[in-house]
Structure 1
Amino acid sequence: MPRLSLEKKFENLTPANLFKWLAWILAFAAGIVGVVFTFYFMEFHGEFSSQNADWGTFGDFIGGTLNPLLSFLGLIALLLTIVLQSKELESTRKELERSALAQEKTESVLSEQAKTQVKQQFEGTFFSLLDQHNKALEKIATPTGKWTNGRSDIDIVREAVFERAASNLAGAKDALEKKNGLCGHYFRILYQILKFISTNVPDGNIGINFDGEHIKNSPLAPNEKMYSNILRSFLSYDITQLLAINCHCINSQDTYWKFKLLIERYAFLEHMPFEIDSEAHQLLLSTAEFYDQSAFGKSQFKGTPSDE
């Protein structure tokens, strides 16, 4: 119990308490000095000696008696001071730990807020572009005046591409480019949105490195495919078939090469049927040889669109 009581006193030690302890130690030390001198002069009273030997004896007595006691009291005072400093250092350490923890929490909150802000900015631009895309798509899908017999721009372009039989994809692409004034603007909008997704999606892996190698090999960011799927969901079968023809190109130097890689990256042909009027069309079937399998996503058989 006494030990526990002493430990408790040490725990409650404060600068004010330390001052009181030191004052008691100083008073006790002064008292001891007074007692020693009193006993000496009571025993050896008389006039002051002029002999060195007498003063040497006096010094030995005083030093031998007081030095151990005063050293012991000094040690106690030193220990008390060390205990108080240790407590203050421990308090400082705990306060620094709390400050560091609070700073980490603040940085974590700010980091999450920054991520949320980046996502909101991205989605704000994305849905604005998506709105422009849908307006452009609606424009080319809406039947026009009497001069076109009530056909839409898509109908006119599909007739030029699929009904006037081309021998290969290159010929079909030439036929499509001749109608560039009708649907070229739409495909350029579609490309720019896909490019925006790949380079600006939060936590994306392409960023400013928008080249063929990065488009093809960079892993998808967590939500990257979700945004491309939202865009893809607005494309009809007809426009998807035209898209497959539109992105045909010869090599990596072609201006449509990156567009093709984006189609493959986001599986934009996954729901594309390979038939026209319920019959398999050779041009559409040949796209399976031109595009990487990734362009068709989870489609198991290139002849019917995926149910996903």
Structure 2
Amino acid sequence: MKVNWYRFFAITAMVLVGLTYIVKFCGFGASTAEDFAVWGQFGDYMGGSLNPILSFISIMLLIKSLNLQNETNLDLRNELRENKRNEKLRSLGLLFFNMINSQKLLLDNFSFDFPNGMMPEKRGAAAIMHIEDGVHLLRQIGAKDTAITNFLAALDSTDQIYGILRAFYITVKMVTEKLSDENDFTANDRREHLLTLINFTDYAQFRLVLMAVQFLDVHGARYLKENKDFMATLKEVKSGINLY
């Protein structure tokens, strides 16, 4: 049990004063007027001596009380800040996983019809792999980035590649802005969400995003290239934006 030394000192002092009074004036022998005068002078002396000390102790107790109050207020502010932070994370989590689900829907609907019956319709990951085959073939014959950009533009007449890139870019932007340093988050918070985004994105779909970043000159591609958190996360997963 922790001893409250302030309380112990105060009670002890009161008991000693009471005992002194009882012993001197009530318990042993008669007291004369001169005794009372001497004790009155002694009381004045002790009061003058003890008052500064007691005032100092009162000030120290007041300072301690203020420090405890400040610590309590600081803990309360930190708790409120943490509650706001957790609420922001919960709000982001709903949007974040909805965006991941929307990416899966985009992949399921991703398809290409090839002219003149040259090849049956390709859907999903198979369509992306066919695009990659075309890019690799162009590279083998020495095609430059411009030629590959034109190839993708001709193939993607309905902007499906752009749609997949846009969904991914919006998710990265949402993580970057909502988990910013200004909102009391850290680079590690953004890193964890971006790693989750990459790991939850179908691998073929993720490769298509990187292909679009490498060859398409659109806002989403430029944003991802300039996003330091995203580029650092790509480096962590041993990837990059120049795969083709």
Counterpart position of 1:117: 87
Q: Distance in 2 between matches of 1:154 and 1:239?
A: 7
Give the 5 Å matches for 1:97-136.
97-136=67-106
Aligned: 1:248 with 2:209: no
Q: Helix, strand or coil: the match of 2:188?
A: coil
Give the 5 Å matches for 1:43-54.
none
* Cα offset, 1:95, TM superposition: 2.6
Query: Percent of pairs identical after alignment?
Result: 10
Kept in 2, the 8 Å contact 1:161–1:172? The answer is no
Consecutive unaligned residues of structure 1, counting only runs of 5 or more, are 1-7, 25-29, 36-65, 208-219, 273-293, 297-301, 304-308
* Cα offset, 1:70, TM superposition: 7.0
Aligned: 1:267 with 2:234: yes
Kept in 2, the 8 Å contact 1:269–1:295? The answer is no
Q: Helix, strand or coil: the match of 1:98?
A: helix
**2:171 pairs with one of 182, 193, 198:** 193
Kept in 1, the 8 Å contact 2:110–2:123? The answer is yes
Consecutive unaligned residues of structure 2, counting only runs of 5 or more, are 1-7, 25-31
Larger radius of gyration: 1
Q: Distance in 2 between matches of 1:9 and 1:257?
A: 72
* TM-score, length of structure 2 as denominator length: 0.62
The one-letter amino acid of 1:109's match is: E
Kept in 2, the 8 Å contact 1:237–1:271? The answer is no
CA RMSD of superposed structures (Å): 4.4
Q: Distance in 1 between matches of 2:181 and 2:67?
A: 36
Number of aligned residues = 210
* Cα offset, 1:72, TM superposition: 5.1
Q: Distance in 1 between matches of 2:9 and 2:197?
A: 73
Q: Distance in 1 between matches of 2:10 and 2:198?
A: 73
Q: By percentage of residues, which structure has more helix?
A: 2
* TM-score, length of structure 1 as denominator length: 0.52
Q: Helix, strand or coil: the match of 2:46?
A: helix
Q: Helix, strand or coil: the match of 2:234?
A: coil
Q: Distance in 1 between matches of 2:236 and 2:152?
A: 18
